[in-house]
A and B are shown apart, each in its own frame.
Chain A
């Protein structure tokens, strides 16, 4: 455990030193701060705009932070050959992969937490000193969505180059977000389309489920019990990430460095 912690700690340190991560964070905060401006433009449903814009900004900045952080964590160690000095010490490969994942995931956590706090505090004042519990839930779900993405990027990084990984992670994130398209495919009359829809649904991570603003934008898909829904999403993210990491460890175990 202490070995995984040491690798994770070192990973966070290195990740926080990268300027790009702070740039995304600043852009994210900037977009969140723009919310009230749009609110003034259409005062009627300014709160909905404020909320969806804020969550979207957190997701967008978090998305890029996660991908550019996680696709490099392992390849950089191999390129710079620092991995030799680590794996020749009593560090098992699974410990290395888990340490990298936890480090990447914690970096993402810091990022989301920073933006989330700015967002919720701003909302608190906008809503006349009232907390918005649905937005706390929104931030939490965004975090778990990006944890799943981090696991996906780490998984690809055990065999793909960072450039290939960028497009794979980004592409799957996009497809996984097209919940309505997947639904349309699954319920289609054409058996091939239905099959394709089902494959996407069961195989690819369903990132779209984590965006609770969707249910506000599409009132048709009402979530009856929010607590259960959130819990299911979190369990889904944890199980899916665990499976990805298990396969990543298997691949990395037989990889020459």
Chain B
């Protein structure tokens, strides 16, 4: 499978001349995205997601590093024929209708009139923009309708690679679910999607691989399965003897112990050998195991944990 995005050492520093401050928005980013992937690019606000996308599209210029999109150097004008971009919080030419807007964008791709008309209908139908709104001014659209228009404009050229910057933030639940499903459906059409988001439930549902970026630094990359791997087990034990020497022994095995009342402990562990050792100790001390519950980690937990650990190490 071919590489859709290949990023080497991409770095962007913003210098504030007035405050003499330097912000490293993106810090030595290395990343590969394969064709056909729906790639989740996760990070908090200000992590550097938008800056990365803007560099890839030639809207801002990197301080260092390089990247290739679909085999062409970034900013290459010809490659843009196969790219699409939905910026975050777009404001369109709002005195135009969705139809006219799409027509303008179609002209920028030099699509002939009949092809344009065909593509516009296909795209507006695909994003389920209600038909009676097609020729109305975008000014009167709801947030959901604008976002649908935004995705439609990204599809006008039937792109191979789409950059969607937080496409589902701030939408009502119905619009949210519909747009998420539309993004997911792009995978079936063989398109590659680079999806910037902090809506982890969505990402977990539709992305094949994800990267976590924080303060411009790439912290983790992998498939969802890889990232959420390592089940956490919660063991609840009970017994009068626990508070004597046993607690200290258990703490030696796993420090993650919560005391609930005088005779109950909740122990967390993500290692099966540890779990067996804990059970041995508990039985030897004449106490009883109330429950052993395996928890699958969610992407959200992994994200929070990864970012917290990075923050603590600073």
Chain A residues with a Cβ under 8 A of chain B: 2-3, 5-7, 9-10, 13-14, 17, 80-82, 84-92, 254, 256-257
Q: Is the interface of A mostly helix, strand, loop or mixed?
A: helix
Given B59, B80, B87, which contacts A256 in the complex, CB threshold below 8 Å?
B59
Answer whether A81 and B90 are a contact pair too, CB < 8 Å, given A17-B95, A257-B60: yes
Contacts of A90 in B (CB 8 A): 77-78, 80-81, 108-110
Q: Once the chains bind, are B61 and A256 in contact (CB under 8 Å)?
A: yes
Q: Once the chains bind, are A14 and B93 in contact (CB under 8 Å)?
A: yes
Contacts of B105 in A (CB 8 A): 85, 89
Closest A residue to B85 by CB, please name it. Answer: A88
Whole-angstrom distance between the Cβ of A100 and the nearest chain B Cβ: 14
Q: Once the chains bind, are A89 and B157 in contact (CB under 8 Å)?
A: yes
Q: Once the chains bind, are A6 and B108 in contact (CB under 8 Å)?
A: yes
Whole-angstrom distance between the Cβ of A19 and the nearest chain B Cβ: 12
Knowing that A10-B93, A81-B87, A84-B59 touch, tell me 9 more A-B residue pairs with CB under 8 angstroms. Answer: A13-B96, A80-B93, A82-B90, A82-B92, A85-B87, A87-B57, A90-B80, A91-B108, A256-B59
Whole-angstrom distance between the Cβ of A253 and the nearest chain B Cβ: 10
Q: Once the chains bind, are A84 and B87 in contact (CB under 8 Å)?
A: yes
A89 to B84, CA, bound (A): 7
A12 to B16, CA, bound (A): 36
Q: Once the chains bind, are A6 and B95 in contact (CB under 8 Å)?
A: no
Given B57, B92, B96, B110, which contacts A88 in the complex, CB threshold below 8 Å?
B57
A88 to B61, CA, bound (A): 14
Contacts of B91 in A (CB 8 A): 80-82
A257 to B80, CA, bound (A): 17
Q: Is the interface of B mostly helix, strand, loop or mixed?
A: loop
Q: How many residues of B contact A (CB 8 A)?
A: 30
Contacts of A10 in B (CB 8 A): 93, 104
Q: Once the chains bind, are B59 and A87 in contact (CB under 8 Å)?
A: yes
18 CB-based A-B contacts, threshold 8 Å: A3-B110, A6-B104, A6-B107, A10-B93, A14-B95, A81-B87, A81-B90, A81-B91, A82-B91, A82-B92, A84-B59, A85-B90, A86-B108, A87-B58, A88-B163, A89-B105, A90-B77, A256-B60
Answer whether A88 and B80 are a contact pair too, CB < 8 Å, given A81-B91, A82-B92, A256-B61: yes
Whole-angstrom distance between the Cβ of A111 and the nearest chain B Cβ: 19
Q: Once the chains bind, are B93 and A89 in contact (CB under 8 Å)?
A: no
Q: B83 at the A/B interface (Cβ < 8 Å)?
A: yes
Contacts of A254 in B (CB 8 A): 61
Contacts of B96 in A (CB 8 A): 13
Contacts of B256 in A (CB 8 A): none
Q: B153 at the A/B interface (Cβ < 8 Å)?
A: yes
Q: Once the chains bind, are B104 and A81 in contact (CB under 8 Å)?
A: no
Closest B residue to A96 by CB, please name it. Answer: B108
Contacts of B163 in A (CB 8 A): 88
Closest B residue to A80 by CB, please name it. Answer: B91
